[in-house]
Amino acid sequence: MEKQKVLVAGASGYLGRHAVREFATRGYSVRALVRDREKLSTEGPNLEPPISEFVTEYFTADALDTRTMKGACKGMDLVFSCMGLTKPQDHISSEQVDHLGNRALLEDAIACGVRKFIYISVFNAEKMMESDIVKAHELFVRDLKASGMPYTVIRPTAYFSDMGMFFNMARSGHIYLFGDGSNRFNPIHGADLAKVCADAAERNETEIDVGGPETFTYNETNIMAFKTLGLKPSITHVPMWIADAGLFLTGLFNKPLASVMTFAISVSRFDNVAPPTGSKGLADFYSALAAKG
Ligand SMILES: NC(=O)c1ccc[n+]([C@@H]2O[C@H](COP(=O)([O-])OP(=O)(O)OC[C@H]3O[C@@H](n4cnc5c(N)ncnc54)[C@H](OP(=O)(O)O)[C@@H]3O)[C@@H](O)[C@H]2O)c1
């Protein structure tokens, strides 16, 4: 039987690399949609694997120029997209990348007769629509649902790559947290999430909420980071009203940073515990980061 072919958009990112490896290991032929293929040949900052060996072919495109998406899906059976703007960038909005970039990809998928589109949004999105990032994801979800294309939307909690960001803060000696740190969440390793993504290719669910196997408070994960590094925990809890005031001021002069801050503040307001899956624990991830130096 001929191999199933999947286009992975966002292949150079944290989840994208794990997804490329998972699909390829399951026997799919993978086309990676990238801006810079060189990135795929080295390990990422959060221990994401180098993945060049798993990629059958590349398609170079940039969501900021939607015309470049044309032909990306030619000959593909499936599209998996975790293409998104996750870090502040001058003059670039989530609307451009997460909504309009993915919409251009969807239009190409429809034109090319793709059988299914799998998309990554965010767990608890409906509670965070004040965030530009979440809103852009959900505007795309709306387009996807209206398009007639068979789809699965996967809504994960925080990734271990976010935990890596806090780990780096701990390395520098101090962590700032929005709120009192008592809210609970179950972060997920990219490899565990990639399995859910690849399973979705062969299943019929249209929406999947998913988190990792362990639930923590934000305080617990950060204390764990300090302890792994052999450091005394040092955490400042920024009260939500100060966070909101800081956000207002930031929004006046730095919109990209305010966008990321809005998401970070929104997600800190409540518990984010999704149905658990996977086997990879946070303590092992932190130990591996510490060993890497
Ligand atoms: N991190 C989390 O905790 C979390 C939780 C829930 C949902 N999500 C969502 O999951 C998705 C993946 O997250 P991640 O942490 O894996 O993100 P990531 O590591 O930042 O990867 C994002 C990917 O999107 C690509 N991309 C960004 N701008 C692009 C553009 N203009 N044109 C083409 N490609 C572009 C990046 O390519 P380059 O390498 O070229 O920049 C990269 O491959 C995002 O939509 C994110 O919002 C994340």
What does the block give as tokens for 8? 């992975």
Confidence bin at 157 (pLDDT 50/70/90): very high
Identify the pLDDT of residue 2: 84
Confidence bin at 68 (pLDDT 50/70/90): very high
For residues 179-195, average pLDDT: 97
Confidence bin at 253 (pLDDT 50/70/90): confident
Domain covering 5-157+190-210: architecture? 3-Layer(aba) Sandwich (3.40)
Q: Is the CB of 36 under 6 A from ligand 1?
A: yes
Q: What is the tens place of the pLDDT at every residue in 72-129?
A: 999 999 999 999 999 988 889 999 999 999 999 999 999 999 999 999 999 999 999 9
> Which ligand 1 atom is the nearest neighbour of the CA of 190?
16
CA 43, CA 41: separation in Å to the nearest integer?
A: 7
| pLDDT of residue 1 exceeding 80 | no
Distance (Å) from CA 83 to ligand 1 centroid: 5
For residues 13-22, average pLDDT: 98
Identify the pLDDT of residue 109: 98
Candidates 21, 33, 35: which one to mutate for ligand 1, based on the most atoms within 8 Å of Cβ?
35
Identify the pLDDT of residue 268: 92
| pLDDT of residue 65 exceeding 80 | yes
Identify the pLDDT of residue 211: 98
Q: What is the tens place of the pLDDT at every residue in 269-285?
A: 999 999 999 999 999 99
For residues 182-198, average pLDDT: 98
Identify the pLDDT of residue 30: 98
Identify the pLDDT of residue 22: 98
For residues 181-189, average pLDDT: 97
> Which ligand 1 atom is the nearest neighbour of the CA of 87?
20
DSSP string covering 102-126, please? HHHHHHHHHHTT-SEEEEE--TTGG
Identify the pLDDT of residue 144: 98
Between 260 and 35, name the one with better pLDDT.
35
**Pairing state of beta strands 184-185 and 116-120?**
unpaired
Q: Work out the angle at residue 164's Cα, subtended by the Cα atoms of residues 121 and 166, and round it to the nearest 5 degrees.
A: 100
Q: Is the CB of 196 under 6 A from ligand 1?
A: no
Distance (Å) from CA 39 to ligand 1 centroid: 14
| Helix residue ranges, H only, the chain | 14-25, 94, 102-111, 132-147, 160-171, 190-200, 218-228, 240-253, 255-267, 282-292
Output the residue whose Cα is nearest ligand 1's atom 22: 13
